[in-house]
Structure 1
Amino acid sequence: MTQATTKHDIPTLDQLTGGVFTAATSGERAQRVRDWLAGNPAPELMQEVFKELSGRDKGAARPVRERLDEIKRAKGQEVIAAEWADKARALLDQPRLNIADAMAWQRDAAKAGAPLSREPLAGLKANLAERVKGVEDLQHRAQVHREAAVLLAQRFEVLSTKGWQDAQAAEEGLRTDVAHWTTQADEIVQDPNWASLDARFAPQLEASRSQLQVVSEAFHSALAQAVAAAADAQAPLPPVPVWADELRAGRGLPPENVAPAPAPAAPKVDPAQRAAAEAAVEASLSKLEEATAQGQGKTSQAAANALRAVLKEHGKLVGNALEARVHAALVAAGELEGWQRWSADKVREDLVAKAEGLLNRPEGQALGGRKMQEQLRTLREQWKQADQGGVPNHGLWRRFDEACNKAHKVVEAWLEKVRAEAAEHRAQRLALVEELRAWTAEHAGDADLKARNRALHQFADRWRDGGHVSEKVFAELQPLWSAAMTEARGPLEASQKASIERRQQMIAEATELGAAPQLRIDAVKALQQRWQAEAQAVPLERRQEQKLWDAFRKPIDDAFQRKSADRERQAEAMGEHDRAVLEASKALEAANATGDAQKIRAAMTALEDALRGRRDAAAAAPAAAASEAAASAPAAGADTPADGAAAPAASGEGAEAAAGEATADAGEAAAPVPAAAPKAAPRPVVAVRGDDRPGAARPAAAPAGRFGDRRDGRDSRGGPRSGDRFGRDRPGRPGDMRGDRAPREDRGPRLGDTAFRAQRDAMEHAQAALRKLASQAHGEAVTQLLDAWNKRDGAAVPPAQELGRVTPSVRNQWVQSLSAAPAGGDAGEALLRLEMAAEVPTPPEQLDARRALQLKLLTKRNEPGPAETWAQDAARVLASAHEPTVARRLQSALKPLLRKG
């Protein structure tokens, strides 16, 4: 294949690229491309290689394309950077820098994508920021300096109200301050950034300088005159009233109170003539003031000319006050005329620049049709406002109109596009209305209301997202859509109305169930299942469905809350025993806080006594009932045989009556009744089933049923269990199916929730506190033992009780070992045996010795192990000399060994 349009052919390109085109696989080709790109080839060669390679292997050509794109972006950024660098240099070269232009440069450069973080833009950005900061600082200094001039003038004024001698004492300091202020003002004016400040700062600073100079010169001349008057009684007094009065008093003269000279009398004028002149002037003056207040330049100019003409004729007859008003109005009118002409042209020039800039925006920032339309409308409204009351400028108007007409072409293209889209959207909406009508006719008999509601929601979403149309078209289409949607929603709305009525009935049923004194859980569950089935069958609007659901569940929730409140009130009502247990629990918590083991154990004993007291009281009732039954047995058994054999067990109503009497007697015995109340005699047995004559055959006891026996060892009729489930006694298990196991303890009534939790928490906290105290005491005992070893003092060894698993004989052995002089032998093996017995780690440098000792112990099977001889090993270590390292190892081994199990 010949390459007529390329600079190099394929073999040449393959040779230049290192065999990219002759590579066997795509991976090898991509690797050769990367190697070739590492040498930074020329962009023209890369373009040729990409053109040939992209048709053969796009994956291998991707790095070449990325490199070309990167070069293109770099060139584009270089162009943009050069453009914005020129703008920045132009700003910096200006003698007067506008802060707004400098800040706008950075903002516009960032929007244009200029690389502000790279040179030269980074340096220019820093220079501009520094220049702006210098201008702002100089502006702040000028304002502060102007305030300082005001304060200096106030100091002159304050000294003029005091004595001349005080002013003379402060004169030198004031001279210095004024000179310093003048020097600083000169520095501010000579600053290079002074030309960049706003035009109002220079007049302000110059006015402050002039005012301060005048005040200073007047003060110093008056003070010099006061000094001269004090030295010479014939010298004139200073113009300062306070100083003049002070000097006059020093000369013995009374204070001067000279009345001001009367003003020369005005010539007499006829009152009628004066009134007519002032009326004419007042009329012209009112018109001028009204025109000036409204800002109308042309009207104010004509009114000013008319006022001047009237003033020439009647000026001599006008009073001073009216004459002052006339001059003020003429000055205001002149200022308004000049200001309006200048400001109107300035506003027009800005509007022309904005209109011409609408189409000269950089790529990516061009305005769309709607924004362009809004901008043009705004600019034309602003031009109309500028033309009101001012002289028109036809040259600027032509430029402005031409720029607006050019920009309006964009608006016209956008309007055409909007009209086409509106027509398309109108057709789509009409098609959607027809589709909805066809769907309604097709699914008229569907019973799945959820699917119907879902489909209608989808239609509504499509209508809402159907695109923009004008208000007129929307007003035309909306009735058609509403009618079609109403027809489609007819079956669903009918079902929803019926469903709402059924739900209202279920709400009434829920209200009745909630108001019932006894809450029926089964009825509530059934009603909730009916509600869920109704909700799943007929969908409603979410807000309405939530409102109905809240009304349905409120009475049921209230009923459950009342039930919970009643249960809580019952749980909170504690008996006498609960209060005793609660008080004992609080006492135990207080003992836990003290950290005293004896107090904690005493409080635990008191709490256990309180708990046992409940069990004893509960067990006293059946014992008392049994003793009373035994006492009354002879009276009840008058018909029993002489040999003392027991009568047959009663059954039927008699047995039930006897059981009821026994239960009542037991309840009376358990209740805390006051002192000796006479007990009723047990009712005698009137009749029993069977033959109860002496010598008659006894009926066999009824066999106890397997499931009729009670857990307390009695059968289902209340009698004691006499054998197995077939009525036979088992050897070794008389009367109890559970064998030799002891009967369960009668625990009596349960504790309340509050008392139970309080005693449980108190016990747990007490046990934890005792464990903590025991651990602390154990650690202190080991520390005392090591201190005694260090001092070789046997009397300092703790007692055996504090050492834990140490017998008195072992303690005596330890005392003898550490009381004697240190032995010369090595206690290393004994220390290793202690660490093995305690299963604690050995220092790394002793691991080899420990492994050797373990191998040695494995060869001696009959010798006792380290766990059996740790007490003797500890005595050997204590008999040796004390060393800090050995003491730490001994302490870590003795802690687990001495701890009680």
Structure 2
Amino acid sequence: MAVCPFRNGFANAPADRKSVNQATLKSTDTHALDTLTGGAFTAPTSGERAARVREWLASDPAVEQMQEVFRELSGRDKGAAKLLRERLDEIKRSRGQEAIAAEWAEKAQALLGQPKLNIADAMAWQRDAAKAGAPLSRDPLATLKGQLADRIKGIEDLQHRVQVQREAAVLLAQRIEVLSTKSWRDAQAAAAALGTDVPDWQAQAQSLLQDSNWASVDTRFPPLLDASRAQLQAVWDAFQSALAQAQAAAQDPAAPLPPVPVWADELRVLRGVAVEPVAKPSRPKVDPEARARANDVVREALARLEQEIAEGHGKASAGAAAALRNALKEHGKLVDDKIENQAHAALSAAGELEGWQRWRADQLRQELVAKAEGLFEHPAPVEGQEPQPPKPRFGGRKMQEQLRALRDQWKQTDQGGVPNHALWKRFDDACNEAYKVVEAWLDKVKAESAEHKAQRVALIDEVKAWAAANTTALDGDWKGFNRILHQFENRWREAGHLSEKAFAEMQSSWKEAIHAAYAPLEAVQKESLERRHAMIEDAKALGAAPQLRVDAVRALQQRWQQEAQTIPLDRKHEQKLWDAFRKPIDEAFNRKDQEREKAASALSDRDRVVLEASKALEAANASGDAQKIKTAIAALDAALRGQAQAAAAVQAAGVPEAAAPAPAGDAEAGADATPAAAPDDAAQANPDAPAQVAGEPAPPPKPAPKPVKAMRGDDRPGMKKAEPMPQGRGGKFGDRKPGMGGRPGDRGAPRDARGDGRFGGGRFGDREAAEDRGPRLGDVAFRAQREALEHAQSTLKKLAAQAHGEALTQLLTAWEQRAADQVPSVQELGKSVTPAVRTSWVQAIGASAGALPGEALLRLEIAAESPTPADQISARRMLQLQLLTRRNDPSPAQTWGQDTARVFAGAYEAGAARRLQAVLKVLLRG
């Protein structure tokens, strides 16, 4: 069946059309979003895109629009999309806070709607709301928080008033009881004031019962108030009845006496009746066994209380005191008076300890409140500016640790004393305010942890995909393979912080993925280790051989380098293998070096003398004395020529000093003495030469080689003006007979005249044979003398430059001071200055100063080819043109001495002195 060639194209047409439509729609949406955001998609740079997105966000766009823009922009520019993501996260967080705020507002309204409000529930609402992240600083929670705080404050004030009323009732009762110990007339006088105070107290107590917060007070306060009311009313009623009875008895002698003993005795005295003393009732007899048991029980409780008091345990001492009170209540009538007195004293001490601990606990609580309130730094107010909000002193983690420590300390303080609700409220408010910083930090940590976890999961997937696609190194580049794996490991280490639990869960997956990626490299490294161990064995064999084969060692090292450059290993392991590989080879080379050093250590006499002369020259260089350096150079040159050894041999043989060989300096100075060299030194200098027979005249010393100087013109024999033209051979070619002279190499010439080889004789001219300088120096002596000479030359140059600068400075100073006697000498000025020139300078400086010649300075600058100041350039060019027309006049380079004298004859100027110094610095060196 034939198949239409266009069938596939038509079949795919709808899909192609669909993809084109999707691309068109996507481009249309992108264009619309770009228009919406003000060109955020078409901006050329990331900074401009971020700026346009920021401007668009300032207009408060809808959440759906921001989500759509973020979806499209996140794939193009993550930096600009980050702004959108932060705004969306903020909106999401604010919506979540609104829901939380509504929930906790409902709970607060429920608490406020209850007729009986528990203070602990109200304070727990604020703490739990802060932990849940509710915005307590914004309405409606801020208003509800204030209402709860006012309600709590009202309840606490009401409870405090109850305690005050109770104390007032006790004081009123004490006033009434004190009147029973005084005269009834005093009581009658004070009855009017008590008649006013007691009803007032009753009215105040009744107002407490009518307060709206009375139902919310603690359950222990209403019974206290009722008991105080009943006790005060009973005492007041008894006082009134006793006082009325005393008044009636005072008016009617037949009336009964009041029940108050003091008043009754006073009325009896008033009636004339004698007062009989009241006999104390005798105690009934008690069983001795029961008394002993009671004493033991009370003594045991007393010992426990005294121990707790001695140790300072407030809470335990309160329990021990309660136990002692119960024991006294049960057995108080049976115990001895001594034990009873000790028990009461111990109870008093326990009460004091409890009060002291309550006071100390309040002090500790106040310190904790100050620390909690000090977690924020309150800036000082500035006039004319709004008050700045407080700033936290610590970051999130540090703030969390501080809050945890403060709350633990508060719990420990509450364990030993009565709680203080007012201080607790201040402390809890400060901690809740500081916990907002911790909440923000925890939210940030959670977001970062989620992001880090997503990055690590993506990295694990990337490593797995890479390991599946790269089962071997591309082009054999195992180093690049290893480098990529190390990059993966670095990215894992730098992927951010995770909790220990989350990291432990992901660590196993990461190890599996990275081990699978390392598997091909580990297999290759195993084979490389086998090859390297084999090369180490080869190195040991080469090092143990009696004759070290350098070519084999070099080839083995090249194999090792190729292996190391191809297959990477762990740095420490590879270093250990390399040390094991190079150890036998280094030992073999060290043995060879030791043998060479042993052979070189046996220095000859000539090497030793050269070394000593080199050390002397180095010491002279360090001294900085030019004369010493030159003397040391001459001594080193003598040692190199063998003259020092000859002099030492002559002195050892007892030859007079006049017969000793002259130093090189004397030979150069043209001394007439030509002493004979010592036989031993001559043999040492030239071992191949035959020994001189005793009694024969010594050969004349060889003259010093004549230095070659370059000469202009033709330097062929006879062409020099100072040498005569040699006479010709005469005759025609071939007329000369053998042995008649001519070239030494001719057939008739003697053998000695022809020379003995390549460089001797007249083959290359009439040049003398090379001077015989004796045996070759050792390596140590040669290097020492070369370095010493180099240092000496550089030191002499420095000294010469220093002397030149000092002489030039002295010369200019003499010109400035017009002191002719300060002009340096000819030796100090250098070889460029002749005595006649110096004399002219002295005369010019000694004469009276005249005008400064500008042309002389210009001629000097032309002679030294030094730059001229900008204002004198035109004059210099004019002078150069004039010099071109004066063909027979001497040039400035020839008359610079006379020009300098003309300048010295003029007056001293600082600018002219600088120009003259720059010129003479060049000319005096020439």
Under TM normalisation by the shorter chain, which class is it? 0.3 to 0.5
Q: TM-score, normalised by structure 2?
A: 0.42
TM-score norm. by structure 1 comes to 0.43
The structure with the largest alpha-carbon Rg is: 2
